[in-house]
Amino acid sequence: MSEKKKLHPISAVANFLKQLKELIIPFVFLVFLNRGEKVEGFLEWLPFIIGGAIMIFLLASGIIKWLRFSYWLEDGELRIEYGLFVKKKRYIPFDRIQSLNLTEGILQRPFGLVRVKVETAGSSDSKQAEAELTAISKEEARELQRIINEAKTAKRNKVAEEEQAVSGENGDVVFKMNFKDLLLMATTSGGAGVVISGVLFFLSQFDELIPYEAVFNELEQIVRSGVVFVTVVVILGLLAAWILAIIGTLLVYADFTVRKQGDDLVITRGLLEKKQMTVPLNRIQGVRISENILRQPLGFAAVQIESAGGSVLEKESSTIKILPMIKKQKIAAIIKDILPEYKVSVDFKPVPKRSLRRYLFRESLLVTAIAAGLSITFWPLGLWSLLLYIPFWLLGYSKFRSAGWSIEGSQLGLKYRMLQKHTLLMKKHRIQSLETEQNFFQLKRELANLRATVKSGETGAAGRIIDLDDQSVKSIYEWYYPEKQGV
C-alpha cells in the first residue's frame, strides 16, 4: 500500500451531506424566509435561488475535497494529503496510532466500504479524530489495520507478534451477546422517552407547515365524546414509541461481539450501520458496573470502561460499553479474562446507619415543595400529593443501602445510586483526584462526602459517596496519600 490511494467516490457525497447537516438550520430558515408575506416576482424565488446555489457549492466542494484527498503508507507512517483550496499534508507515525475505528454507514455499506477513524495518543485533547478516511474498501481497511498492528507489535516485542499471528487475526472472543439478552435489553431500555422527545421537538419546528389549529378543532369534537378515546390514543402513542426504541436498540447492538486481540479490545456491533472500535488496554482508566432499575431485579447489569481516549464530540470513544447487558454472576469471570488486574468480587463497607436520616431528608425536599403547592392550590384533594413521599423515601432508602466503598490492594471501589446503581472500580495510579467535602451539619454528625475522578475523555468520570463516616474517609485518604499520614 505504498502507492497513493484515493477514497471511493461516495466520499464526495458524504462530504456534501456532512456540510449540509452543519448548515441545515440556516438553510431551512433561508428557504422559508418571508413565507408569510406576499412577495411577487424575482424576490419570491430569491430564497430558493440562494438555497440552490448553496447546494451546488456544497456539492462542488465535496467533489473537490474528494479529488484532492489521497493517502498512503511510507516509512512507518500513515501519510495524508488533503485540502479544498490549499493542499495540506499530515504524517502520522504508526507508533502514535492507538486505534482504527471502523464504521459501516448507510452510505458505505451498499458498496462494501467502511469509514475509518484514526485515534492517536493525543486525540483525547482534540475535538475530533486525528484523521478520517471517509470511504475505503473493507479489504483496504483490514490491510491498513494489519500493517499498522504488525509494525507496532514488532517495535514492542517480536515474540508478542509471533504469538498474535498464531492466535489469528480476529483474536479470541470473550463475549458475544445472544438475541434473547439483546431483546430483553431493548425492552428494558429508556429509549422510549428519547423517541417521544424527538418527535415533539420535530413537530414544534414545523408549526407553520402543519395546520395544528385546524387539526385541534377537529379533534376537539372527538375529545368531547369521551376521555376513554384520548386515553387510548395516548397509550397507543407511548406503545409505538416504546416499539421504535426497541427496534433502534436491536439495530444498534445487533451482533455485539468483544474480542481480545493482543493488547487491544476489539468491539463490533450494528446491523444497518456496523461499527468496529479498537480500545488499547493500556488506556483503560476504570471499570463501571451499572444496574438499571428495571434490570436489577432480574439480576442483570451493564459493564462499561472509562478510557483515556475520546473527546467532547465523541463521548462514545471514552465511555465504552463492553458488556451491554449480562447476568451479574458472570461479570467477574469475563473481567478477569479481559482485565485480570481488576477484582469485581470484593466486600464493600456500607455508609453508617446514622446517614439514613439525611438520605431520606434530601429526597423529601422536592416532594415537600410540590405537595405544599398542590395542597394549597387544590385543597383538600391536593392532600393526596402527600403520598408522593412514599416512592421518594423508598428511593432515598435504596440510595442509602447501595452506598459503600472498598479497598482491595491498589484498587478503590465506590458504590452509589442515582436512579441506576453504579459500581466504579479504579486503580490507584489511574485516579486523577480524590476530594472530600463536609458541611456544617455533616460535621456535627461526623460525616463527609467523597469523590474520586479518573480520566475519561476531556472531562473525566467520577464516583461519589454521600454521608460517609469520617473514619472511612480518613482510611481512603491515607490509602491514596500514604506519605501524608502523619500530617
What is the b/e burial string over 274-300, where b = at least 16 CB atoms within 10 angstroms of the residue's CB?
bbbbbbbeebbbbbbbbbbeebbeeeb
Q: At what angle do helices 42-68 and 24-31 cross, to 10 degrees?
A: 160
Strand partners, 99: 119
- Rg of the chain taking only CA atoms, in angstroms: 28
Q: For 262-287, what is the mean pLDDT?
A: 86
Residue whose cell numbers read 498492528: 149
Which is nearest to 463 in space by CA: 429, 423, 408? 423
Measured between alpha carbons, how far is 350 from 338 in angstroms, rounded to an integer?
Answer: 28
- Each residue's pLDDT tens digit, 46-103: 767 777 788 888 888 888 888 888 888 888 888 888 887 777 888 888 877 877 888 8
Query: 407 and 292 in one domain?
Result: yes
- Kindly report the CA angle at 57 between 35 and 107, in degrees rounded to 5? 95
Residue with more model confidence, 122 or 166: 122
Cell of 469: 463516616
Query: 110 and 161 in one domain?
Result: yes
Strand partners, 305: 287, 320
Whether the pLDDT of residue 205 is over 50: the answer is: no
Q: For 403-421, what is the mean pLDDT?
A: 94
Whether the pLDDT of residue 164 is over 50: the answer is: no
Is 174 inside any structural domain? no
Cell of 136: 475505503
Is 3 inside any structural domain? no
Query: 142 and 55 in one domain?
Result: yes
Q: How does strand 349-350 pair with strand 257-261? A: unpaired
Query: 138 and 82 in one domain?
Result: yes
255 half-sphere exposure, CB direction, 13 A CA radius: 9
Query: Which range among 32-41, 286-295, 462-471 shows the weakest confidence by mean pLDDT?
Result: 32-41
Range of the domain at 90: 10-169
Is 4 inside any structural domain? no
What is the b/e burial string over 199-225, where b = at least 16 CB atoms within 10 angstroms of the residue's CB?
eeeeeeeeeeeeeeeeeeeeeeeeeee
What is the DSSP secondary-structure string of 295-320?
TGGGTEEEEEEEES---STTGGGTEE
Is 228 inside any structural domain? yes
Measured between alpha carbons, how far is 90 from 76 in angstroms, rounded to an integer?
Answer: 13
Three-state SS string over 337-389 comes to HHCCCCCCCCCCEECCHHHHHHHHHHHHHHHHHHHHHHHHHCCCHHHHHHHHH
Do you find a cis peptide bond into 280, omega within 30 degrees of 0?
no
Question: Dihedral of the CA atoms 118, 131, 107, 112 (nearest 10)?
Answer: -50
- Each residue's pLDDT tens digit, 331-388: 999 999 889 999 998 999 999 999 999 999 999 998 999 889 988 888 888 889 899 9
Beta carbons of 103 and 276 less than 8 angstroms apart: yes
What is the b/e burial string over 338-355, where b = at least 16 CB atoms within 10 angstroms of the residue's CB?
bbeebbbeeeebbbbeeb
Q: Return the SS3 of 232.
A: helix
Query: Which range among 27-31, 34-38, 154-158, 162-166 shows the weakest confidence by mean pLDDT?
Result: 162-166
Whether the pLDDT of residue 213 is over 70: the answer is: no
Domain termination residue (choose one: 343, 367, 400): 400
The domain tally of the chain equals 4
Query: 44 and 131 in one domain?
Result: yes
Measured between alpha carbons, how far is 239 from 295 in angstroms, rounded to an integer?
Answer: 20
Query: 296 and 281 in one domain?
Result: yes
User: Phi and psi of 263, rounded to 5°?
Assistant: -100, 20
Domain termination residue (choose one: 253, 278, 313): 253
Query: 337 and 300 in one domain?
Result: yes
Query: 424 and 361 in one domain?
Result: no
Cell of 334: 469475563
Query: 267 and 208 in one domain?
Result: no
Mean pLDDT of all residues belonging to the chain: 80
Domain termination residue (choose one: 336, 371, 400): 400
What is the DSSP secondary-structure string of 175-209?
EE--HHHHHHHHHTSSHHHHHHHHHHHHHHTTTTT
Residue with more model confidence, 257 or 93: 257
Greatest Cα pair distance in the chain: 85
Q: Write down the pLDDT at residue 203.
A: 46
